[in-house]
Amino acid sequence: EALASAARTIRDADEIVALTGAGVSTASGIPDFRGEDGLWQQYDPADFHVDRFRADPAGYWDQHLDLYDEFFDGDVAPNAAHDALSDLEAAGHLDTLVTQNIDGLHAEAGSDSVVRLHGTAANTVCQSCRERYDVEPILERARDGDVPPTCDECDGTLKPDTVLFGERLPERALMRSQAAARSADVFLAIGSSLTVEPAASLPRTAADRGATLVIVNLDETPLTDRAAHDFRADVTDVVPRLRDAIVGD
């Protein structure tokens, strides 16, 4: 059936690229943005705009401390979808894993070829000299009221090393992901609403160049019509079953 057919396509392909979104991490307890229990139910997207950070870095840090405490409190772990993607890579059936997620769970699950399009929550970066610092000690300082935390080198303002609306994506990550999309034979879009550019243009680029598009997402996406295989289901169900069908268990 549908799953076996998608698995065959993936197994027979040369260049396989995946793009993941917040939907791969909801089963790990991290909310997505636009899903049923997404952050946009609770937060104003404008709070995630770089203009907001620049206008009020202290207020931004205060609000985001709550997010860190609620969702990155140490017992967040990869789920079956992260594990299955890591297994696919290890078995030679996934060449590049582009993620919009900042949670580090793909690397924790053992994936090596991860391209982080939207940065990482594990670091902070000085807005003046670009020096980077581990987030943990900075969070400690911020919890003690030192907001916004500042750079030891130049006293510039520190920002989480994640991409906000209105910011450029990390150049190398963007280049790598675009090159991967152009050379993909199969492109898997997993747990993303495919609504935020330029990430959403990756599967479109791949499909335009003839790649077979496989989508796994609870909701319909703007690219669903172009998918050869469309799984409107939970990633923690579909991705492990795809892995089992491709590499055997």
Residue 57, contacted partner among Zn ion, ligand OAD, none, CB below 5-8 A by kind:
none
Q: What are phi and psi of 225, to 5 degrees?
A: -60, -25
Does 128 engage in binding with Zn ion (CB under 5 A)? yes
Q: Which is nearer to ligand OAD, 196 or 228 (CB)?
A: 196
Q: Which is nearer to ligand OAD, 9 or 224 (CB)?
A: 224
- Residues near ligand OAD (CB under 6 A) are 21-23, 26-27, 32-35, 38, 48, 100, 118, 163, 191-193, 195-196, 217-219, 234-236
Task: Tell me 54's DSSP state.
Answer: H
Residue 80, contacted partner among ligand OAD, Zn ion, none, CB below 5-8 A by kind:
none
- Minimum CB separation of residue 199 from ligand OAD in Å reads 6
Instruction: Tell me which of 2, 90, 154, 179 binds Zn ion, using CB under 5 A.
Output: 154
- 82: annotated active-site residue: no
Residue pair 117/98 in contact (Cβ under 8 Å)? The answer is yes
The CB-based long-range contact list for 165-169 (8 Å cut-off, 24+ gap) reads 165/45, 165/48, 165/49, 165/50, 166/49, 166/50, 166/51, 167/50, 169/117, 169/118, 169/198
Residue pair 195/34 in contact (Cβ under 8 Å)? The answer is yes
- Minimum CB separation of residue 63 from ligand OAD in Å reads 14
Q: Which is nearer to ligand OAD, 39 or 142 (CB)?
A: 39
User: Cα separation of 141 and 133, whole Å?
Assistant: 12
Residue pair 210/41 in contact (Cβ under 8 Å)? The answer is no
User: Cα separation of 237 and 165, whole Å?
Assistant: 31
Q: What is the CA radius of gyration of the chain?
A: 19
Q: Which is nearer to ligand OAD, 150 or 206 (CB)?
A: 206
Candidates 10-18, 58-66, 76-84, 145-153; binding stretch for Zn ion (CB under 5 A): 145-153
Does 175 engage in binding with Zn ion (CB under 5 A)? no
Where does this chain bind Zn ion (CB under 5 A)? 126, 128-129, 131, 151, 153-154, 156
- Where in the sequence numbering do the catalytic residues fall? 118
